[in-house]
Structure 1
Amino acid sequence: MTIHIPHITDRDIREHVTYRQAMTALRSALLEDVDPATDFPRQILELADRKQLLFMPSQSREWVGTKLISVNPLNYRRSIDRVQGVYLLMDFDTTTPRAIIDGSELTELRTAAMSMVVADALLPRDAHTVMLFGYGAEARAHLLALKEIRPSLSEVVVTGRNQVKAEMFAANAAEHGWDARIGAARSPESTIPQADVILTVTGAAEPLFDSSLVKPGTLVMAIGSHNNDRREVEGELLGRSYVIVEDRATAMREAGDVTMAAAEGALTDDDLIELHDFVRDPRLVGRDKPVVYKSVGMSWQDLAVAAEVYRRVPQGRR
């Protein structure tokens, strides 16, 4: 028997699924259907020139699926996404394939939406300023998602290693309603103490800023790395912050920001707050310290959002 497997494109996702809808799917999965600690560990295959292949399977009560993506840090030279791939969604009962979904757009959507589950619980309703390190696809997705949950956010300061790309990103953000500036116009050193959100979405191996500048109550979302030998923020910051992670064991295995801070004696795994617990009780996090959300991305997130994409995209577009 021949099975027709529909292809859901990046355009289909952008047209039919909002960040809020993806947030709801992720929050519901955590509350009703998923224990991140029991998720299948992803397989990371190292290729030449720091390229990677990631195989990320997961299962829920209704669905089974897997993502196969590549991560190519050299793609910035070609002005194409460093993360590319596909997602195969199958129903749980028969394991019949139901859709092939654009893996890059799915990754951007679920990563930003997962960040917003945290941000929506913590950011004041009058939050104003974002300090952004990076200017790639996830930077774009996070700004769009932040605007969706906090329309009060109006200022973003963009910095990165390529001045021209930072300027182009800032110009694009301005077209979407942001008062966007680049680091040359307003330095990170002057912005960080005033920022409501510090967002790092880079491939950096070393910390991007002086953590002593971060004040209590500031939300730091460190999204860029899933390697245990690379980090975007200093261990000192994690040591004096509430630290939220998707899963303790995963963070201690894969999140360089966490593993290196632990190696320096700044924290232990007992200091980490798991998303599973935070979603149930946001009061675990106060305003008396900075908050660091460190994400590496997990397979259950892809599955939850892929299922939501499948439900939201009209059958005629699949």
Structure 2
Amino acid sequence: MKVISAEEVHASLSYPQLIDSLQEAYGGSYSMPPRQVFLLDENKGNDAFAVLPSWNEELIGVKAFTYFPGAEEPYKSLYSKVLLFNRDHGEPLALVDGTTVTFWRTAGISGLATRLLSREDSETMLLLGTGNLASYIIKANLSVRSLKKVMVWGRNLEKAKSVIDSVSVEYPDVQFEAIEDRAAACAEADIVVAATGSHEPVVLGQWIKPGTHTDFIGNHHADKRECDTELIKKAKVYADSRVNAFKEAGEILVPISEGSFTEEGVVAELSEMCNGKALLRENEDEITLFKSIAGGLSWHDALLPLSDVHGAWVIVFICYILITTFAVLNVITGVFCESAMEAADNDRDLALQKHMSKRKRSKKRSRRSKRSGPSRRSRRS
């Protein structure tokens, strides 16, 4: 079984390959029972453990993570691992750093939605949010569209500049700009991605021009949202999962509660977008909106302890669809497959050499024994 670290995940993945794998995975078939979340101390209600299983015809996988919000240095508040098995005979294949996989995967889905829904001639992107996912999202979107300009907005302008500094050196032909005027930037952008975790709209429908693709990643609360009702009403709406969107996506649920939108207004979910059953962008003037629940803004922001109406603590967990993690893991394990096979060949060669050497020594002893005749003991007798 291969143990794959966060560093190895980074080294083995690239967005063009990953997004292709995600599209293939979402277009296929899989089984995914409900995720299991356990509060470890119901009196305190903070520390939690979660298990998320899934499988397809080739693989069995389970993601497990712990969430300890009160953790102090040197410990982290969240630890996550993904364990992968062979579907045919159950052999463990890999133990992978789960947090890094999730960052890659969540941004990969943003890139996949951009590939499927945005105009092919899109040139300008606006990212709202400066959290852990920011650089991943920029890279994923740049891998599917030939963008000339990327704008980054955050409540802290210095953090927006820091995000740009972390990615701009890799894209010398792209203009990067940290901005403060959201309205003007939204009006300019061909692609708008929000990953803020904001409880109030950060994107208004009146700011969005015809032909824009919008993508909302950060919010996972039924009564909170990153865009307003006007945008939902004027856009062609898609979601990664209808079931999860109708439980957790305030961008969709708030307009439904207002009577301004219906569940039938969601054109398709990601599996239908990937298997060819859904109508995608039909003209250059459509505004498209993709709502992602399966990913999260960051582990910290997506695992917020909230107080419900009864005063009990609940944990709002990332809706993490493990089957799409298989796409990530297939890419990762594929990188190590060749070296693993080489190592196995080397082991077999070494074993064969040892075996042949042992046989040669045995034959030499046998020949010496024959030349020397009977043993002393047999001659005495």
- TM-score band by shorter chain is 0.7 to 0.9
Overall identity of the aligned pairs, in %:
26
- State the Cα distance separating 1:129 from its structure 2 match: 1.1
- In 1, the alpha carbon distance for the partners of 2:185 and 2:76 equals 28
Q: Which residue of 2 aligns with 1:309?
A: 332
Correspondence 1:31 to 2:27: yes
- State the Cα distance separating 1:304 from its structure 2 match: 3.0
- In 1, the alpha carbon distance for the partners of 2:188 and 2:26 equals 32
Query: Do the aligned partners of 1:23 and 1:114 also contact (CA within 8 Å) in 2?
Result: yes
- How many positions carry a matched residue from both structures? 305
Alignment match of 1:40 (pick from 26, 29, 33): 33
Query: Do the aligned partners of 1:25 and 1:305 also contact (CA within 8 Å) in 2?
Result: yes
- State the Cα distance separating 1:44 from its structure 2 match: 4.8
Q: Encode CA deviations 1:205-254: one digit per residue, 9 max, x unaligned.
A: 11113221112221111111333233211232112211111221121012
- In 1, the alpha carbon distance for the partners of 2:253 and 2:79 equals 27
Query: Do the aligned partners of 1:173 and 1:180 also contact (CA within 8 Å) in 2?
Result: no
* TM-score of the pair, normalised by structure 2: 0.71
Q: Which residue of 1 aligns with 2:94?
A: 99
Query: Do the aligned partners of 2:118 and 2:281 also contact (CA within 8 Å) in 1?
Result: no
Tell me: CA distance 1:254–1:39, structure 2 relative to 1, closer, same or farther (3 Å): farther
Structure 1 unaligned blocks of 5 or more = none
CA RMSD of aligned residues (A): 3.0
Alignment match of 2:262 (pick from 243, 260, 268): 268
Letter in 2 for 1:292: L
Range 141-150 or range 116-125, more displaced: 116-125
Query: Do the aligned partners of 1:81 and 1:136 also contact (CA within 8 Å) in 2?
Result: no
Letter in 1 for 2:177: R
Greater C-alpha radius of gyration: 2
Letter in 2 for 1:289: E
Query: Do the aligned partners of 1:206 and 1:230 also contact (CA within 8 Å) in 2?
Result: yes
Query: Do the aligned partners of 2:12 and 2:331 also contact (CA within 8 Å) in 1?
Result: no
- State the Cα distance separating 1:52 from its structure 2 match: 6.7
- In 2, the alpha carbon distance for the partners of 1:307 and 1:204 equals 33
- State the Cα distance separating 1:82 from its structure 2 match: 8.3
Q: Secondary structure of 1:149's match? A: coil
- In 1, the alpha carbon distance for the partners of 2:66 and 2:249 equals 18
Query: Do the aligned partners of 1:200 and 1:222 also contact (CA within 8 Å) in 2?
Result: yes
Output aligned runs, 1:1-318, within 5 Å: 5-34=1-30, 39-44=32-37, 54-69=50-65, 84-150=79-145, 152-177=146-171, 178-184=174-180, 187-272=181-266, 273-279=268-274, 280-281=276-277, 283-287=279-283, 288-297=285-294, 298-314=321-337, 316=339
- State the Cα distance separating 1:92 from its structure 2 match: 1.7
Tell me: CA distance 1:176–1:40, structure 2 relative to 1, closer, same or farther (3 Å): same
Name segments (4+ residues, structure 1) moved above 6 Å: 46-52, 71-75, 80-83
Range 84-93 or range 49-58, more displaced: 49-58
- In 1, the alpha carbon distance for the partners of 2:219 and 2:190 equals 22
Structure of greater relative contact order (alpha carbons < 8 Å, 6+ residues apart): 1
Tell me: CA distance 1:165–1:316, structure 2 relative to 1, closer, same or farther (3 Å): same
- In 2, the alpha carbon distance for the partners of 1:19 and 1:259 equals 31
Q: Secondary structure of 1:182's match? A: strand
Tell me: CA distance 1:202–1:49, structure 2 relative to 1, closer, same or farther (3 Å): farther
- State the Cα distance separating 1:83 from its structure 2 match: 6.7
- In 2, the alpha carbon distance for the partners of 1:259 and 1:19 equals 31
Q: Secondary structure of 2:167's match? A: helix
- In 1, the alpha carbon distance for the partners of 2:10 and 2:33 equals 28
- In 2, the alpha carbon distance for the partners of 1:232 and 1:182 equals 20
Query: Do the aligned partners of 1:17 and 1:313 also contact (CA within 8 Å) in 2?
Result: no
Query: Do the aligned partners of 1:42 and 1:299 also contact (CA within 8 Å) in 2?
Result: no
Tell me: CA distance 1:211–1:73, structure 2 relative to 1, closer, same or farther (3 Å): farther
Letter in 2 for 1:105: T
Query: Do the aligned partners of 2:119 and 2:211 also contact (CA within 8 Å) in 1?
Result: no
Range 122-131 or range 193-202, more displaced: 122-131
- State the Cα distance separating 1:197 from its structure 2 match: 0.8
- In 2, the alpha carbon distance for the partners of 1:51 and 1:291 equals 39
Q: Secondary structure of 2:158's match? A: helix
* TM-score of the pair, normalised by structure 1: 0.84
Q: Encode CA deviations 1:242-279: one digit per residue, 9 max, x unaligned.
A: 11112211210122322223222232221111122222
Tell me: CA distance 1:55–1:229, structure 2 relative to 1, closer, same or farther (3 Å): farther
Letter in 2 for 1:63: L
- In 2, the alpha carbon distance for the partners of 1:68 and 1:245 equals 25
Q: Secondary structure of 1:313's match? A: helix
Letter in 2 for 1:39: M
Tell me: CA distance 1:257–1:83, structure 2 relative to 1, closer, same or farther (3 Å): farther
